[in-house]
Amino acid sequence: MKAEVSKRDFNVLAVQLIIVAWCAWESKELIYLYQMSSIYDSYPGVFFLFWIFSLFLGLFLEIVKTGQLPQTNINLSLVAALFALLGRVISFEFPGQIGLALALCGLLPPSKKTLFWVIAACCWIHPFKWFVVNLLGAVFVTPVRLLFLFIGLIPFRIRGYR
């Protein structure tokens, strides 16, 4: 099974990978935040690893199903670049983290499944803990993060859902 890519698709993918790298650079404080996280934070780094694993598993399954690299969502990647730029301009980490989530989801083919992964990205974005603690209490941080992570896994259970 050989994955075929046209020159235009290759250029678009290269631009998207550059956007992903830039958004990752703008979100580099996540590494520090994940290293300093505790039980109270419910280890968001672990949720990030599960989220990104399910994201790339979905991409891999799409490649296996069609036999070629899927078309990517360049519009989502451009919105991610705008969020990363906004985070840089206002010197605030939250837009950069949203940009990283959108840039990674932009590597997926444009479909309804992408919405699930974007929603599930809330499980690892750092300010999410603050929202949950203020709305529900600290006890609910881990269950709510698990709920959002499982939302990202829904497309694997729906057959024929595109």
User: Which residue range is the domain that position 104 belongs to?
Assistant: 7-28+43-155
Report yes or no on 36 lying in a domain: no
Give the number of other CB atoms < 10 A from CB of residue 100.
Answer: 28
Report yes or no on 33 lying in a domain: no
Please write the tens of the pLDDT for every residue from 73-85: 889 999 999 999 9
Please write the tens of the pLDDT for every residue from 117-155: 888 888 888 788 888 888 988 888 888 888 888 887 777
**Backbone CA torsion sign across 115, 53, 105, 31:** positive
Q: Residues near 4 by Cβ (< 8 Å), separated by ≥ 6?
A: 68, 69
Report yes or no on 34 lying in a domain: no
DSSP secondary structure code for residue 15 in this structure:
H
Which is more confident, 40 or 104?
A: 104
Report yes or no on 37 lying in a domain: no
Please write the tens of the pLDDT for every residue from 18-42: 999 999 998 888 888 777 766 556 6
Report yes or no on 137 lying in a domain: yes
Count of structural domains within the chain = 1
**pLDDT class for 161, splitting at 50, 70, 90?**
very low
